[in-house]
Amino acid sequence: MKHPIAGIFCPHIVPLDARGKIHEEELRRYVDWLIESGVHGLYPNGSTGEFTRFTPEERRQIVRIVCQQAAGRVPVLAGAAEAHIGETLDACAQYAEYGARAVAIVSPFYYKLSAESVYAYFREIALQSPIDVTLYNIPMFASPIDVPTIRRLAEFERIVGIKDSSGDLAFMMRMMEAVKPVRPDFVFLTGWEAILLPMLLMGCDGGTNATSGVVPELTRKLYELTRAGELEQAKRLQFRLLELFDTMLFSADFPEGFRTAVELRGIRLGKSRQPLSDTQQVDRQRLSRVLQCILSDFGMVQQPAGGCPPQAGPTSLTPTSPAPTSLEVDRDQVGHVAQMVVEELRRRGVM
């Protein structure tokens, strides 16, 4: 029986050795740690995994190692996007042989294509792929996949879902409304941390969230709290994870902040293939301290020497604790969206 594509799929970073090559032993250790820490699935060759900084041969090596180490404990959703459709199909065939559950394929990048060209691209893949396909919509880097196109592509049995990293909650809702009536089994995954809770409330099946590579225990907890209807606790955890996410995202060029945080959890990632200037090296040291303070607040690591500044608000995730007070704009936006979702669900009689 096939693993379901649901829950938290981790788009993990790839450790490198002193020569800048894939550190297989450490990658296997990282995979074990992620699975033991609660992720529902693994997502190699994603944006967080810097897939564009590896050769096609290395991308295949990464998926092979991840599938071997996962050994059926959790499903693997492998990024299979290549610049040429023939190479993409070759990757699909290879990843099916390795034992991946499905592949995620971003729409054509570099050239901005029409909706009809995007449809033709995925149609060709759907007709020839030997493995299930999830669409990957990331309009900031690739040709967008609009709702009518998604609806048309959902007619192909081989296309089983979509990962959306637009961060647009309304767009995701329109997608679900258009596709679910004709394809109830179609999988929806959100790739944007800030709307994980609202999207789960609206029926999203899970997320491919970069924080799960840093704090897999907490990202899974958010998923479980939401599924269990423990919404007050879920909202507090969503706010805190947003604080961590924003710090990693905006304090350094992506995904350098995430690399720093993963290393604080004890994974040896090595030097990134993206060189850092002297100024960036200093900024990375500062970022490391800030992230260590945030992670220590979660109880994940020890505080840095000299301690941390006073917290902006209570850190407990018990039902009686008030929500944290940092990042007020993001909190207000997330809270407002979550409340709108809850009210809509109640109106429909779902809650």
Q: Please state, in angstroms and rounded to a whole number, the distance separating the CA atoms of residues 133 and 203.
A: 20
CA distance 161 to 5: 9
Distance CA 260, CA 248 (A): 8
Paired tokens of 7? 């829950």
136 is catalytic: yes
DSSP 320: T
Q: Are 304 and 212 in contact (CB under 8 A)?
A: no
Written as one letter, the residue type at 316 is: S
Write down the catalytic residue from 30, 43, 119, 136.
136
Q: What is the Cα–Cα distance from 196 to 164, expressed in whole angstroms?
A: 11
Catalytic residue (choose from 43, 119, 121, 163) = 163
Buried b or exposed e, range 109-147, using 16+ CB within 10 angstroms: eeeebebeebbebbbebbeebebbbbbbbbbeebbbbbb
- Rounded Cα–Cα distance for residues 323 and 212 (Å): 21
> 105 - beta bridge partners?
135
106 DSSP β-pair partners: 136
- 3-class DSSP state of 65: helix
Tokens of 335: 């809270």
Query: E strands within 138-236?
Result: 159-164, 187-190, 206-207
State the Cα–Cα distance between residues 54 and 129, nearest whole angstrom: 23
Q: Is 30 a catalytic residue?
A: no
Tokens of 54: 């590896």
Name the residues annotated as catalytic: 136, 163
